[in-house]
Amino acid sequence: MQNNRAAQEMLYKLFYADMYRLCQRYISDAQDTLSVVNDGFLKVFRNIAQYKPELGHFKSWLKTIMINTSIDHIRSNKKDMRLIYIDQLQEKGDEDFLTQYRWKHEELMLHLNNLPAVTRTVVNLFAFDGYTHKEIAEHLEISETTSRWHLAEARKRLRQSLQLSNPKMAKHE
């Protein structure tokens, strides 16, 4: 498949929409999202021989490549990264208010896109992709405490933003 254009095109069409939505969670600009998705697929096509079915589903391997490509893009644009190093903040209760309400993907994306790039990335890695704070810290080259701070900050900002757009939510708190 490495040089089979027809197979590559089929793979691209099959997974494009899911991978675009995945990358969109990390990258707010539509053009940048498209670029990251295409870069990710290029990496997949170049490294398809490295995929081993016994290690897991193909889609999981593909998602890992797309997440890593998104993180690489964010790292390469550090001017957009507003890193805040706070080593003495503790993470508040770990209840995830995002799961208490059913949000349409588009609505949630609007709120996520208003977060600073690193904060949005931490939320995506932790809440949606299941990374630990240790793994997030390694990927983003930040401390675990900073990762926890970004998650707490995201929760605070998202709660405020979501409450403004959905007054019924405020009554549940």
Q: How confident is the model at residue 21 (pLDDT cuts 50, 70, 90)?
A: very high
Residue 111 lies in a domain: yes
**Tokens (6 digits) for 161:** 């933003």
Report the CATH number that the domain containing residue 62 is assigned in CATH.
1.10.1740.10
**Is the pTM for the entire model greater than 0.85?**
no
Helix (H) or strand (E) holding 44: helix 30-47
User: Does 74 lie in the same domain as 31?
Assistant: yes
Domain encompassing residue 32: 5-80
Q: What are the Cα distances from residue 63, in Å, to 4, 14, 108? A: 21, 13, 20
First to last CA, the chain: 52
Q: Do 76 and 110 fall into the same domain?
A: no
Cα distances (angstroms) measured from residue 153 to each of 8, 122, 156: 40, 10, 5
The answer to whether 115 and 123 have CB atoms below 8 angstroms apart is: yes
Mark whether 163 and 123 lie in a shared domain.
Answer: yes
pLDDT digits (tens, 9 = 90+) for 50-79: 888 887 899 999 999 999 999 889 888 764
Mean pLDDT across 26-46 = 93
- Evaluate if residue 96 carries a pLDDT over 70: no
Same structural domain for residues 30 and 75? Answer: yes
Domain presence at residue 90:
no
pLDDT tens, 119-137?
989 988 988 888 999 999 9
Count of structural domains, the chain: 2
How confident is residue 103, by pLDDT bands cut at 50, 70 and 90?
A: low
Residue ending a domain, among 23, 52, 80, is: 80
